[in-house]
Amino acid sequence: MNPATPEAMMALGADFAAQAGAGDVFALVGNLGAGKTHWTKGFVAAIDQQAAVTSPTFTIVNEYRGGQSPVFHFDFHRLKSAEELIALGWDEYLDEGGIVICEWADLFPELLPEPAIWLEITHQPDGSRLLRRIPKPPKPEYKGSLKS
């Protein structure tokens, strides 16, 4: 799938929401500005049209509870360890039965359940983005910094 605009990325998110159900986990992978949050905006809007979706970069998790199923939107980018995520109540969010969306999920793949749906968003030379389903990546090796 090759969305060329933020609106097209949001439409793809809405398409995924139409097929999603309670307990689903979406693991989003992509560089800064790839479109992960726009995909999530479309997804959440399809479930809860009243929600104002923002990036959880600084809050780590945003909760949207007004729709047919709660949606928990995580951003792992600022986390330094898996223990930090667990301390935020990660397991409780997974057990709640809502839908979990994780940006930068490849930083802690070992914490995502096996049925997670892994999606990679990449910039293309023509300015569009490519969205594709990928297998769960291996746990990254520690090289002194989690960010490149």
The 10s digit of each residue's pLDDT in 93-144 is 999 999 999 999 999 999 999 999 999 999 888 888 889 999 998 877 654 4
Burial class (CB in 10 A: 0-12, 13-18, 19+), 88: middle
Residue 51 DSSP SS3: coil
Position 80 confidence tier, pLDDT thresholds 50, 70, 90: very high
Nearest residue to 66 (alpha-carbon basis) of 81, 45, 94: 45
d(CA 98, CA 95): 8
pLDDT at 2 over 50: yes
pLDDT score recorded for residue 50: 78
Distance between the two ends of the chain, CA-based, in angstroms?
27
Tell me the pLDDT tens digit for each residue of 126-136: 888 889 999 99
pLDDT score recorded for residue 147: 46
Beta-strand pair 117-123/99-103: unpaired
Output the average pLDDT for the chain. Answer: 88
pLDDT at 145 over 90: no
pLDDT at 1 over 70: no
Position 3 confidence tier, pLDDT thresholds 50, 70, 90: low
Determine the average pLDDT of the residues in 34-51. Answer: 89
pLDDT score recorded for residue 11: 94
Structure tokens at 83: 């223990």
Cα angle, residue 116 at apex, residues 132 and 29 outer, rounded to 5°? 45
